[in-house]
Structure 1
Amino acid sequence: MVRGPLADLWFRRVVFVFVAIFLFYLRLLPLGSVAGQWPGPDLMLCLVLAWVVRRPEYVPVWLIAGVILMEDMLLQRPPGLWTALVVVASEFLRGRAALMRELNFAVEWFQAALAMLALLLVYRFVFILTLMPQPGFGYAMIQMGATILAYPVMAWISRHVLGVHKPAAGEVDARGRRL
């Protein structure tokens, strides 16, 4: 069966949701019983940023907001705060997707790392303003460092396993517009 461009677009969105559900499952899975271990990377953030940079049309704002809000609920974070910050960061990178198409991966990784660090700092600043308890800054920085280091792995998986690549020159979207 031949899929048209619109069917491929929706197929990729469904794939994104299923990968997100798989990452939720991995995040909630008890992998160890020893307290005090190093925090793991935020793979969902890596996935969102990698897909937004590579193919922004696959992950519209409403899909990102819904998936991250579901993650907020599952991880018992303040609902909507992390969601809003991730949406702002993804829209920032979405606006630069056309510029980053011509640049190498190191620049993409650097832009994603800056967005991740900005997310962490604003998130913690809001927690400080509202006097909410939060984990230590060193712990959060270790997690963000792990997330930044995990970004190339998630970008590679997105490209080679899931087929989400930067658009080629002359490639068109579902409506026939150039990407």
Structure 2
Amino acid sequence: MSSQPEKPVNTDNIKAPEDSWRPNYVSGDLFSCPEDEALAHCISEDCRMGAGIAVMFKKKFEGVEELKGQKKLTGQCAVLKRDRRFVYYLITKKKAKQKPTYDSLTQSLEDMKSHCVVNGVTRISMPRIGCGMDELQWSTVSEKLEQVFKRTNISVTVYSLPEKEKKEKKEEKEETKVMKENMRRWKN
């Protein structure tokens, strides 16, 4: 044995075993993630973004015409560059009122991964994509994420609203629904 201290090993180029990739989970506001992390969410080809978290992306990052100009189809990923980050718009369906498939989601994730690799993106934050208004099952979506990203050095952080905020949003949605119904009755 040598009495000299061992040199530190550079682990930057060592890839983790395939079966060790997992998304990181955070309870909180997606938009509070570090400003140099990419963001991702799902939209339709028509770029409507009129409900759910898509409304917040539309308000915060604008660029609807820029997205439409990219002429991306279902299974592809449109991209905006905002300050120090890329914002990924996973095109998972043709029209806003339709539902995505796991195949269209997977294809759009693959397209996003390709952009990440080419542009050196190693960290992405996202909501539980496809599982809100699009009604996909998170257990299956998380498997798709793992399949797509397991051989990369790209980490994915998945944000969920704290239970209190989820409850408040649900109550707010119900209140709006009741108000609209009352207004409809009042007008008639």
TM over 0.5: no
Query: Which one has the largest radius of gyration?
Result: 2
Give the TM interval when normalised to the shorter protein: 0.3 to 0.5
Give the alignment's TM-score, normalised by structure 2. Answer: 0.31
Structure (1/2) with the larger strand percentage: 2
Which structure is richer in relative contact order (CA contacts within 8 A, separation 6 or more)? Answer: 1
